[in-house]
Amino acid sequence: MMVLFSLSLSSVISCVDDLKYKAAFYILYTCGLRSGEMFALTWNDIDFDKKIIKISKTYDP
């Protein structure tokens, strides 16, 4: 397993041009999600008013 530190995350995000990928890296890092949990997220899992992301499922291809 590879761990990213704050400086490493900044380096990765600065190299990514696509906003959706920047958001994905940021969510993975700041929320401590596994990739399968992030890929399983839907808009219904995100409450923008309360600033909550509900993690209740995982994606396993």
Domain residue limits, the chain: 6-53
Residues 22-55 as b/e (b if ≥16 CB within 10 A, e otherwise) read eebbebbbeeebeeebbebbeeeeeeeeeeebee
pLDDT in tens, 5-24: 666 778 878 888 999 888 88
Mean pLDDT calculated for residue range 2-7: 63
pLDDT of residue 7: 65
- Tell me the whole-structure pTM to 2 decimals: 0.67
